[in-house]
Amino acid sequence: MRLPPTQALPWILLLWTVVEWLPDASAMGCLQSIACKPKTFRDGVAVLQVNASIDSNPTSIDESSAVILRYRTPYFRAQALVLVPPVAANETWTVGWIQACNHMEFYNTYGSKGMSSWELPDLRNGNIRAISDSDGVNYPWYGNTTETYTIVGPTRRDSKFSVSMNDNFKPSITWAVPVSDSNVAELTAIRRDQSFTTWLVAINRATDETLVLQTVRWRMRLLIRVDPEKPLGQRAVLLEPVAQEQPQILGENESIPPNAMVKPNANNAQTLMWRPQEGDPVVVIPPRY
């Protein structure tokens, strides 16, 4: 039934009064007359804080062994505080850090004899953009302790948690040429330059749906000069850098290359080559996969 204009006016004024009386929609999240729809995991997961840094201390050198030189680089560290809304469905999500190596130069020079080189052949040849830097067990995750957190739905409350990771290099380099039977020290230089991309990621364990929450890029470089004629303990000097370049937390996330998610990881895929000044390269240690 349509009311005459004069009779409809009081009803319009009453309706307007009721609407004005309702609390602000932005404060309530939704009008009282409309059922609030809970946020899905995809819509509600939020990174409250993220930090990434490389320790300020320089690379340390250890000459305590007559067979090998050891060095230890400063740590790269990443930490994120994450908020997840209630998970209404029977879903399981894991949030954590995934890392891939996208560039590696690792050369150990032995005077005029040649150099040994740890290499990732597929990465070196441009066949892949990046290779997994997983722990080799919990693919695709960098690790499975502080590095990940799993939410098993349904849950009734928000979940707030922290995930963190750290990484550094601590190799051993032979003083003598690695393909020689001699124990005479001939190592003269070590150069290393590696780049990584590290992602904070949420993955649905049932569907493999992947949400990239944050992307970090970092790089580790070093140049060590060695004088094999000097006494043990006085041979190696760090030339650069004293302090590493700090990581970049990207404002726009990058997608994860397929090889960063699957086997093999960088440790299992790398091979140690001997590249003499004259003659053909020799495989010293083959890949482990």
* pLDDT tens by residue, 31-90: 443 345 556 888 899 999 999 999 999 999 999 999 999 999 999 999 999 999 999 889
Q: What is the pLDDT of residue 203?
A: 97
CA dist 86 and 161 (Å) reads 13
Residue 5 lies in a domain: no
Where residue 29 falls (left for φ over 0; alpha for ψ -120 to 50; beta otherwise) is left
Q: What is the pLDDT of residue 9?
A: 47
Residue 42: other Cβ atoms inside 10 A: 12
* pLDDT tens by residue, 241-265: 989 999 999 999 999 999 999 999 9
Residue 32 lies in a domain: no
* pLDDT tens by residue, 268-286: 999 999 999 999 999 999 9
Residue 97 lies in a domain: yes
The answer for residues whose C-beta is within 8 angstroms of residue 3's C-beta and 6 or more apart is 11
* pLDDT tens by residue, 93-103: 999 999 999 99
Domain boundaries, position 200: 41-285
* pLDDT tens by residue, 123-135: 999 999 999 999 9
Question: What Rg value do the Cα atoms of the chain yield, rounded?
Answer: 28
Query: Under a CB-based contact definition with an 8 Å cutoff, are residues 124 and 130 in contact?
Result: no
Where residue 54 falls (left for φ over 0; alpha for ψ -120 to 50; beta otherwise) is beta
Residue 6 lies in a domain: no
Residue 271 lies in a domain: yes
Residue 158 lies in a domain: yes
Residue 30 lies in a domain: no
Q: What is the DSSP string of 243-264?
A: SPPPPEE-SS--PPPGGGSSSP
- Please report where in the chains the tokens 């290393």 appear, as a residue: 192
Residue 105 lies in a domain: yes
Domain count, the chain: 1
Query: Under a CB-based contact definition with an 8 Å cutoff, are residues 41 and 209 in contact?
Result: no
